Amino acid sequence: MVTDRRASWLKGVLDLLVLACLTGGESYGYEIARRLDEAGLGRIKGGTLYPVLNRLEESGLLEAEFRATERGPGRRYYRLTEEGRSALKTQGDAWAGFHHSVTRLLEQREDG
């Protein structure tokens, strides 16, 4: 049951988390998924992550560039656009406010 809830919560904030993963510079899908996993969010499969990346690119929040490699398949590198940085700030602030409200209510529950 907790796993189902966690997946639902993650789905609601995954776009924001992907944008946040790109604040330090460009990256590719596997690396973004690894960073999310290392942050304690669990393994994000490609079937979940790549549609998010495509949607963010189509909405102008990310730019992408395909690069061939000497060995193995090429990679598509993603980077934030200025619009993406602005969306990250706005959505990040909104999420922080939401988180604060939820935390405050949960603390009241524990106190009462």
pLDDT tens digit sequence for 85-94: 999 999 999 9
Average pLDDT over residues 8-28: 94
Residue 112: the pLDDT is: 55
Residue 111: the pLDDT is: 60
Q: How many CB atoms lie within 10 A of CB 76?
A: 15
**pLDDT confidence bin for 110, thresholds 50/70/90:** low
Residue 58: the pLDDT is: 98
pLDDT above 60: residue 70: yes
The total number of residues written for the chain in this structure? 112
H or E element at residue 81: none
Separation between Cα atoms, residue 49 and residue 32, nearest integer Å: 9
Domains and CATH numbers, the chain: 2-111 (1.10.10.10)
Mean pLDDT of the chain: 92
pLDDT above 80: residue 4: no
